[in-house]
Amino acid sequence: MSKFVENFDADNEYLTIPDGFKEVAHDTRSRNGEDVEVVRYQQSEKIVQNNPHVTVVYGDDGRLISYNNFSVDSPDALPDDSEAVDIALNVFDSLDSEYAEELSLMRIDEQERLFINDDGDEIATPILWVKFAHMNGSYNWVSVGPAGQVIEFERESLWDYGQSRRATEEWNDDDWVAAREHRGPQLSAPSALA
């Protein structure tokens, strides 16, 4: 039976936690100057960089800030752009309808998200990255994957125009976290400086 990510103590059925995944880490970090809770779910207890996992970030008021599912390996096709936009808007509306009212669609990009499966193979999950601007000046998106499954959700991401890269910390990216903890190289732009 599928589990879902909670938003203000209610399950959000757009955002799944795969069967067999359990919470393995729960840390307080800083994101845009706000204390946030970063929760990681995966099958095994041992955290291995870029293994199959789900990362969820909650704000200090309990709102869901981001969700990343790095475990989807599916032969299903992507939806068309129109359906992807509908899914993205439904996700934002289901999480915070007032916030969603101030979003403006910017663009849709075809991208991939990568993870390393339990056999050590790199898996590329195709996505449609549906990006929005918000009236508060932030960037926001939902990435829609095979069969319309939500792969990512993020809100309130800020941009450093002077350095042409993200300004918001990336606690949902294992490679960025490794760089932040001096276990890996600094990522190139557009990733945030670690």
Task: Render pLDDT for 24-64 as a digit per residue (tens, 0 to 9).
Answer: 999 999 999 999 999 999 999 999 999 999 999 999 999 99
Give the whole-angstrom CA distance, residue 133 versus residue 153: 14
Task: Render pLDDT for 139-173 as a digit per residue (tens, 0 to 9).
Answer: 999 999 999 999 999 999 999 999 999 999 999 99
Mean pLDDT of 174-180: 96
Closest listed residue to residue 49, CA positions, set 152, 120, 148: 120
Q: 64: how many CB neighbours lie within 10 A of its CB?
A: 21
pLDDT computed for residue 90 by the predictor: 98
pLDDT computed for residue 82 by the predictor: 98
pLDDT computed for residue 2 by the predictor: 74
pLDDT computed for residue 1 by the predictor: 61
Give the whole-angstrom CA distance, residue 162 versus residue 178: 24
Mean pLDDT of 8-19: 94
Task: Render pLDDT for 93-141 as a digit per residue (tens, 0 to 9).
Answer: 999 999 999 999 999 999 999 999 999 999 999 999 999 999 999 999 9
Q: Is the pLDDT of residue 19 over 90?
A: yes
Mean pLDDT of 59-72: 97
Mean pLDDT in the chain?
96
